[in-house]
Amino acid sequence: MELNRRNFVKLLVGGVVGIQLTPLPWKLTDDTAIWTQNWPWVPVPPAGAFSSVNSVCRLCPGGCGIEVRKVDQRAVKIEGRTDYPVNPGGICPVGMGGLQLLYDEDVRFTRPMKRVGPRGAGQFQDISWDEALSVLSARISTLRDQGKAAALAAVDGHFTGSSMSALIERLMKAIGSPNHVRVPSMEDTYSMTSMLMLGSQGPMAYDLENADYVLSFGSGLLEGWGGPGRVIDAWRILREKALKGKAKVVQIESRASNTASKADQWVAVRPGTEAALALGIAHILIKEGLFHTKFIQGHTFGFEDWRSSDGRNHMGFKTLVMDQYGPAQVEQITGLKDSEIVSLALGFAKAKAPVALSGKGKGTLNGSLYEFMSIMALNALSGNINQPGGVVVSEPLPLDKLPEFELDAVASKSITTPRLDGAGGAAYPFSKGLIDNLATAVNASSVSPVDTLLVFSSNPAFTLPDGRNFYKALKKIPFIVSFSPFRDETANMADLVLPDHTYLEKMDDVVWPAALQYPLYGLSQPVAHPLYDTRHSGEFILQLAAKMGGAVKDSFPWESYEEVLKTRARGLFESGPGLVRYDGKVPVWESVGKNIPVKADYKNFDEMWKGLKSNGLWFRPSHSFGNWEKLFKTPTGKFEFYSTQVELAVYKSKGKASGESALEKMAVQARGDEALMPHYEKPVAQDPTKVYPLRLVPYEMINLASSWIPSPPFLQKTWFNNQLRKNESFAEINPKTASEYGLKEGDRVQIKSPSGEVGARLTLFEGAMPGFVYMPLGLGHTAYDEFLKGKGVNPNRIVHAGRDPLSGHPVWWNTPIRITKV
Ligand code: SF4
């Protein structure tokens, strides 16, 4: 086949259809090919030699193996690798479009620049890397000289546990600032749930492929949750089993998403009431004695009522659930009939390997902590914790820590300054970073407490569900440095733009792909020489530290970023045998629990490193299931229904009054023992009011990027006419609700919340829950190129978040709104 532009796009999209990795209707394939005839930056390979390079996609935490085909030096196609265990042969639409993010100069920054126009206007002037280094190091040195090192803050969007995150954290510490803030995601809520109930610092993982009953509380299995390359393949396996009556997927979600529509059963509950449903199911399991007695009696804490050493009687989880979450009570909260709750519980109990999943949509944004804990309690009742087909509990990936280093006097003094976001403090004892609070701290002060903000791999001005709180803060911060490769909304506000390479031009890691049930370390490698005058942010940090000199310089004893990666990877070698090759013959999920000893396919560290670099992976296809005696690292050594860590945080100082005040600070409504166990907390804005009678729920799509990565332009042709038409976004509304308000299909409306308003058209959708309005995340950019800028609206602009109790993260799934026809 002649490889012209049209065939190139057909090949990309056709590849997806062929491997059935997505249920999306790709009927517009040919249109897309025709439509792209005029794109100057779609690869037009000259005659030349074909070759391919293996790498790892880093556009999401899914960590798929990719093969990039090249003609001479030009990358022309991205495919999924069959010799990579995560995503057997498949990739998602965003991953397929990655080349467009490499070649499109309108989407990327091509060299370092400084701002010359008004902030936000996107007017920049080229500068050299040397000048950029001098400007930034001088600014930070001045802050340190003035004793204001803590006025440096960093927003970090790199993947959890990544080497880049470790390096950024180290830089901030060496300078003397505690204000390293990660962009929130589902991982934050997972990590808190895991730590409180399992005592685990390891990743939250699910053995989906071996499950036979998947009870998903809003996890978008077909929308991009948990690493689409792997999860959609798991979906295929579950479908095959379902056809033989051996598996079932139940989707609990208020909207008929793609996942809900294709699941065996769709159960619609009011958004934000999922915890109550999980506890309602728990009620039936306990009432009917349908729980795993051995696990509950032998390996859990706080199930039955109990008495503490100080002689106080405590309510157990069983009493809580039996008293407060009967089917009739849960029906009131969720809107689900009591018979349906009973039927869900019986289905879950009957299964041999049931698993309950938490995590809304793709998991790009955080979840609700008590909700996740309630869902985890269901897994505990089924005994499917660290069992095949259930929740997999592991130690973190055995990477070496970067060596300790000495702080100089300046850093030692300022590092103890309280964090601006309050994370880890009395109100948010379990959160590691709360970016929204950082923005609020800036907005609440007459002079911004942040002088200089470094922004890595993130676009908080667009992605945060905060009603533009962060965007407003950016206007007040004196100096902003963006390391984004992309011309995104946050970068446009920057004073200094120091563009990173794109993921196809650099080496970097993916530490344990999201939700995967076995340890895997992915390593991308450059598939092309950097096209422009960009620089790896890891290299820049090393150069910045060197330029600053003294103890800061001494804290970074590496010549290159690759050396940093290598330092950490040594821990993999020392942890025992692993593999750096995968032949694709036996899927790892089939063998992972069989306790087959792993024989390393390398003899020494250098061999391992070489294999890791060329194949992009190190993994250990084995897991020790069961092991309940030693599994839980909670203070009680058991799975905790009653969290002794929350208890400690709440009752640090003695007395009922101090406990109540601590709970109030944490925005927890419950009191006493209930507050320390999984329970349902009614969202503050749950009930309709006269002014705001409806509720807005943003949703995510697999073919629309909603994180800091822009959507590759070719995805645009896969969006439906009632999602985006020309420049207008659509909001979904149930026909019944529309008729109550005298609205019809296609009407133009203003959607107003306490945080602002946006315009959209309406589309009537039977799959939308009455009383709720649904809008996709990922549209409404004010930056990037002609394919994204000005297309639709971003619902984050009007999200009126509120705080999730205990975690302090935003509640973004329940914004009060009203709509008016215009
Ligand atoms: S699922 Fe994530 S890692 Fe895999 S191809 Fe898509 S964007 Fe890349």
Q: How far apart are CA 665 and CA 803, in angstroms?
A: 11
| Distance from the alpha carbon of residue 410 to the mean position of ligand 1, in angstroms | 42
CB-based burial of residue 420 (10 Å sphere; 0-12 exposed, 13-18 middle, 19+ buried)? Answer: buried
| Distance from the alpha carbon of residue 485 to the mean position of ligand 1, in angstroms | 18
| Distance from the alpha carbon of residue 99 to the mean position of ligand 1, in angstroms | 13
pLDDT over 90 (residue 29): no
Nearest-CA neighbor of 295 among 392, 381, 386?
Answer: 381
pLDDT over 80 (residue 2): no
| Distance from the alpha carbon of residue 374 to the mean position of ligand 1, in angstroms | 29
Residue to substitute in 22, 68, 92 for testing ligand 1 pocket (most ligand atoms within 8 angstroms of CB)? 92
Of all atoms in ligand 1, which is nearest to the CA of residue 510? 3
Residue to substitute in 16, 87, 502 for testing ligand 1 pocket (most ligand atoms within 8 angstroms of CB)? 87
* pLDDT score at 653: 67
pLDDT over 60 (residue 25): no
383-403 mean pLDDT: 97
Nearest-CA neighbor of 255 among 627, 777, 629, 782?
Answer: 777
Residue type, 586: V
577-606 mean pLDDT: 94
Q: What is the DSSP letter of 198?
A: I
Q: Give ligand 1 pocket residues (Cβ under 6 A).
A: 57, 59-60, 62-64, 87, 91-92, 94-95, 227-229
pLDDT over 90 (residue 34): no
Q: What angle do CA 661, 666, 669 make, to 5 degrees?
A: 75
**Confidence class for position 10, pLDDT limits 50, 70, 90:** very low
Q: How far apart are CA 706 and CA 779, in angstroms?
A: 8
* pLDDT score at 654: 65
Residue 596: how many other CB atoms lie within 10 Å: 11
Q: How far apart are CA 176 and CA 474, in angstroms?
A: 22
What is the percent of the chain where pLDDT is above 70? 94
Mapped to the 3 state alphabet, what secondary structure does 338-400 carry?
HHHHHHHHHHHHHCCCEEEECCCECCCCCCCHHHHHHHHHHHHHHCCECCCCCEECCCCCCCC
pLDDT, one tens digit per residue, over 65-123 is 999 999 988 999 999 999 999 999 999 999 999 999 999 999 999 999 999 999 988 89
- Tokens representing residue 499 in the block: 């563009």
pLDDT, one tens digit per residue, over 544-586 is 999 999 999 999 999 999 999 999 999 999 999 999 999 988 9
* pLDDT score at 5: 36
Of all atoms in ligand 1, which is nearest to the CA of residue 93? 6
Residue to substitute in 54, 55, 78, 94 for testing ligand 1 pocket (most ligand atoms within 8 angstroms of CB)? 94
Q: How far apart are CA 356 and CA 86, in angstroms?
A: 21
What is the percent of the chain where pLDDT is above 90? 89
DSSP codes, 439-506 = HHHHHHSSS-S-SEEEEES--HHHH--STTHHHHHHHH-SEEEE--SB--TTGGG-SEE-PPPPGGGS
Q: How far apart are CA 596 and CA 474, in angstroms?
A: 53
Our CA dihedral for 486, 489, 490, 493, rounded to 10 degrees, sits at: 110
pLDDT over 60 (residue 717): yes
pLDDT over 80 (residue 668): yes
Name the average pLDDT for the chain. 93
* pLDDT score at 7: 39
* pLDDT score at 9: 36
* pLDDT score at 379: 98
Q: Is the dihedral of CA 391, 392, 394, 397 positive or negative?
A: negative
* pLDDT score at 122: 84
pLDDT, one tens digit per residue, over 495-506 is 999 999 999 999
pLDDT over 80 (residue 701): yes
pLDDT over 70 (residue 709): yes
| Distance from the alpha carbon of residue 712 to the mean position of ligand 1, in angstroms | 13
Counting every residue written for the chain, the total comes to 822
* Among protein residues, the one whose CA lies closest to atom 2 of ligand 1: 60
Instruction: Identify whether the C-beta of residue 527 lies closer than 8 Å to the C-beta of residue 502.
Output: no
* pLDDT score at 686: 72
Tokens 């003397």, residue? 176
pLDDT over 80 (residue 685): no
* pLDDT score at 683: 83
pLDDT over 60 (residue 35): no
* Among protein residues, the one whose CA lies closest to atom 4 of ligand 1: 64
Of all atoms in ligand 1, which is nearest to the CA of residue 230? 1
| Distance from the alpha carbon of residue 66 to the mean position of ligand 1, in angstroms | 9
Residue 298: how many other CB atoms lie within 10 Å: 11
**Confidence class for position 463, pLDDT limits 50, 70, 90:** very high
* pLDDT score at 652: 76
- Tokens representing residue 234 in the block: 């798991």
* pLDDT score at 11: 35
**Confidence class for position 42, pLDDT limits 50, 70, 90:** low
Q: How far apart are CA 462 and CA 465, in angstroms?
A: 8
pLDDT over 70 (residue 36): no
| Distance from the alpha carbon of residue 98 to the mean position of ligand 1, in angstroms | 9
**Confidence class for position 606, pLDDT limits 50, 70, 90:** very high
* pLDDT score at 20: 38
* pLDDT score at 46: 62
Tokens 């973004």, residue? 812
* pLDDT score at 199: 98
| Distance from the alpha carbon of residue 91 to the mean position of ligand 1, in angstroms | 6
| Distance from the alpha carbon of residue 419 to the mean position of ligand 1, in angstroms | 34
* Among protein residues, the one whose CA lies closest to atom 5 of ligand 1: 95
pLDDT over 80 (residue 299): yes
| Distance from the alpha carbon of residue 224 to the mean position of ligand 1, in angstroms | 9
pLDDT, one tens digit per residue, over 406-415 is 999 999 999 9
* pLDDT score at 22: 42
716-735 mean pLDDT: 95
Instruction: Identify whether the C-beta of residue 760 lies closer than 8 Å to the C-beta of residue 729.
Output: yes
pLDDT over 50 (residue 438): yes
* pLDDT score at 801: 73
Residue to substitute in 57, 702, 708 for testing ligand 1 pocket (most ligand atoms within 8 angstroms of CB)? 57
* pLDDT score at 655: 67
Nearest-CA neighbor of 708 among 512, 523, 461?
Answer: 461
* pLDDT score at 45: 63
Residue to substitute in 54, 79, 91 for testing ligand 1 pocket (most ligand atoms within 8 angstroms of CB)? 91
- Tokens representing residue 32 in the block: 């897309």
